[in-house]
A and B are shown apart, each in its own frame.
Chain A
């Protein structure tokens, strides 16, 4: 590794505490959330919510020129108790979790033909995961999916994205009172794919929502994982893992809206970057509104830059409008795999590629264990090894 050009990285952060909020986290954007694409101006790249995104690589998803000409193969494998329906946009469950927050996902909402609704009946505890496989077969597509988990039901949903596509989509998770939902969304796209999506969870009373976002592939991936609480006692754990290679743009923009008392949230995203113009963006917005007494929240983002030429933008924002909370914090750090670390490991006989693997596996290992899904753990670690080998080779 050459040591001359340091990897570009910015890590800004803000904690705002107090009553007057001129620009709440969700209002820094250029338009209010809306179901209608016409409510959003066409972005020019200078807007707060678009300033990191390469608009020219979105293939027209942002300016209305991308017509839905492509196809997606969607397959759902679910245990018997689960119902899978295809509905149109008048179904009351469509759009229930929240409105689209930027022009592309509003475009998706305005353009999708049919939505699929996957329902887990109340009190049903699934022993097998629901698998939704989304395979892109080229062209432009707009999608909408709703996963609804009834009161006191428990489910794991794995959303697997593969193939090539230009996709804008909304995925909604309606987590009933006392229910537990874990969603794993894997972006394992071909290197040519463009994927912009909003994943919004509406967490019910005393319900638990766990999200695991794993992004490896794609030319541009821009995701909005969002959580809103419908009632008190809700819990949300948002885990993320990304491996950004040469030329890839992977952007995760999280928002947790603590508008309800006694809810908890925990965010941990980790990413590794390698190669020229690998660009990872992580935005973590947490808003604790005046009514949200007893809130407990923490968010963390860690990045590991393995080579020169990669760039990380990591921006945590925490806004607190009430002092009556249990805890609130954030941490963001971007580190580099240093030449001195490589030297130390090699001086103990460890080959350079093994040294890199040791460090990267170590970096992700703790997070992967925290996710608590043994099947996924193995798959992720294997995938991380593959990514590393691709870089070394």
Chain B
């Protein structure tokens, strides 16, 4: 059973010739089958957590540990982490001119699965996954993220989630910029992946809206670089009513 354990994670970033500590000791354990929502105000470090787990070179880990089933994730390169089962659905996926979606998906599935998927079953698999996400077949021939609308980018991220079947899925503000219809379609995709019970999900969001579609088992409030409160789904209701104000003040005082 896949378990991601984050212990006392500390991360800095270089900005304006100064080193700034963004994550100040994050502790979190995500087990297969569980869904954890991480909620917090802008600038609290939620996205830094997501990118640090994926291994973005911009962030420097200065302390703490991250393990996946006991393996040291921090010692792995970005691609090794993905092959080990960590997937990050990005808030701002980048354009890759000249590389078609279909070529990209197949290359990445081959890398993650360790062998090229059989062509016939693969074509069917992609077609079905795209239909579920209400994506036109012509989408596969477009270049990765090039000229995609906000909603198309997010669907494309969730399409990859469905095809790559990670053991830990980190969804970084997947709900941002989506209208209600797109949010529902994307959430359904996430739920299909969750239903097989094989993925541990870390759902990072600013708003409670997406939690109406994706029910979390745990909710954590993130502020000033650490988790300041944890609870069940009811904690999200409290945030819905009260906002982050009390946490922001608390964080500033700390």
Query: Contact between A362 and B94 (Cβ–Cβ < 8 Å)?
Result: no
A349 touches B98 (CB 8 A): no
Is A350 located at the chain interface by the 8 A CB criterion? yes
Beta-carbon nearest neighbor of A344 in chain B: B94
The answer to the question of B104 belonging to the interface, with a C-beta cut-off of 8 Å to chain A, is: yes
Whether the Cβ atoms of B97 and A335 lie closer than 8 Å is yes
Counting CB contacts under 8 A, is A298 at the interface? no
Instruction: Tell which of A350, A354, A361 has the most Cβ of chain B within 10 Å.
Output: A350
Cα–Cα, bound, A339→B112 (Å): 21
Is B3 interfacial (CB-CB < 8 Å)?
no
Chain B 95-124 interface 0/1 with A at a Cβ cutoff of 8 Å (1 = within): 111111001100110011000000000000
A352: contacting residue among B79, B90, B108, CB under 8 A: B79
Q: How far is the CB of B146 from chain A (nearest CB, A)?
A: 11
A5 to B143, CA, bound (A): 28
What range describes how many residues of B lie at the interface?
20 to 34
- A interface residues, tally (CB under 8 Å): 24
A354-B107 in contact given A347-B54, A362-B97, A363-B98 (Cβ < 8 Å): yes
Contact with B along A348-383 (1 / 0, CB 8 A): 111110100011011111100000000000000000
Interface residue? B197 (CB, 8 A): no
B56 at the A interface (CB under 8 A)? yes
Q: A1's closest neighbor in chain B, by CB?
A: B57
Q: Within residues 36 to 85 of chain B, which ones have a CB less than 8 A from any CB in chain A? A: 54-57, 77-79, 81-83
Does residue B88 face the partner (Cβ distance < 8 Å to A)? yes
* C-alpha spacing A344/B96, complex, angstroms: 9
Known: A343-B78, A344-B90. A349 touches B83 (CB 8 A): yes
Asked if A362 and B99 make an inter-chain contact with CB atoms under 8 angstroms apart, the answer reads yes
B97 touching A363, Cβ below 8 Å = yes
Known: A338-B94, A359-B98, A363-B98. A346 touches B103 (CB 8 A): no
* Additional A-B contact list (20), CB under 8 Å, known A358-B107, A363-B97: A338-B94, A340-B94, A343-B57, A344-B93, A345-B96, A345-B108, A347-B79, A347-B81, A348-B111, A348-B164, A349-B112, A349-B164, A350-B108, A351-B79, A351-B111, A352-B79, A358-B96, A359-B96, A362-B96, A365-B98
The 6 closest A-B pairs by CB, nearest first: A362-B98, A349-B111, A348-B108, A349-B82, A346-B78, A349-B112
User: What are 20 A-B contacts defined by CB distance under 8 Å?
Assistant: A343-B56, A343-B57, A344-B93, A344-B94, A346-B77, A346-B78, A346-B82, A347-B82, A347-B88, A348-B108, A348-B111, A348-B112, A349-B164, A350-B79, A350-B111, A351-B79, A359-B98, A362-B96, A362-B103, A365-B98
- Could you list which residues of chain A lie within 8 angstroms of chain B, going by C-beta atoms? 335, 338-341, 343-352, 354, 358-359, 361-366
